[in-house]
Amino acid sequence: MAGRHREGGTDSDSDTDRKDCIVQRVSRTLRLRTGVMGVLALLFAAGLTASPVMTTPAHAAYGPCNTTSWRDVPTLSGTSNEYRVPARTDNGLSCYMRYFEGSPAAVEELQKAIIICYGGTWASQRIANSGGADGVYGTGTVEAVKWLQINRLGLSGSADGVYGPDTRSRMLWPHYYDRGALLYSCTNPSTF
């Protein structure tokens, strides 16, 4: 059979043509499959990142802090000392504050706690230099909270400058006597 002539060439030419055709089909199929897989991977990734479940931070489930709350500080003498923390109406102390989000009263309480309880630190200076306890969760407050998270609160792995339950539970809060006079002493109430 080898060497038989057909229109346009020999059997060996025909075999070569068939092999080239098969290689081209396989190559085309692989490119098509690779392209489809690439498109599917992009769509899958886009679907995950566009999903509200994936893009919503965990703290968003709490809602922003919109008020403050007084809490008792246990004392040995039986006197009434209290501290005041950011809170959320109908959700207790589980709330968050971040860049330009949080009520002025809640933000101001956080800023006062940083100035009073962390005086002399970079965070305290950053609050003081960016308007003091002005009730605005701006760049200065974000940077101060992030500094505290990294340097004082042991939250360096999740430091983002956002105030939430983890930050609150590790912070020091100033004490007041009978919801009035500042006592200039600070504790972390979660250690009681």
pLDDT tens digits for range 27-40: 666 565 666 565 55
* 26 has a pLDDT exceeding 50: yes
Contacts of 34 (CB under 8 A, 6+ apart): none
pLDDT band for 162, please (50, 70, 90 cuts): very high
pLDDT band for 67, please (50, 70, 90 cuts): very high
The tokens describing 21, both together, are 């055709």
Predicted pLDDT at 1: 47
* 133 has a pLDDT exceeding 80: yes
Tell me whether residue 178 is exposed, middle or buried, using C-beta atoms within 10 angstroms of its C-beta: 0 to 12, 13 to 18, 19 or more. Answer: exposed
Least confident interval from 7-11, 87-91, 151-155, 180-184 = 7-11
Could you give the 3-state DSSP secondary structure of residue 83? strand
CB atoms within 10 A of CB 76: 5
pLDDT band for 51, please (50, 70, 90 cuts): very low
Query: In 3D, which of 43, 13, 163, 157 has the Cα closest to residue 3?
Result: 13
pLDDT band for 139, please (50, 70, 90 cuts): very high
pTM comes to 0.68
* 76 has a pLDDT exceeding 90: no
* For range 82-92, the mean pLDDT: 89
Predicted pLDDT at 176: 87
Kindly list the domain boundaries of the chain, sorted by start residue.
5-55, 59-191
Helix 122-129 vs helix 139-151: angle between axes, to the nearest 10 degrees? 170
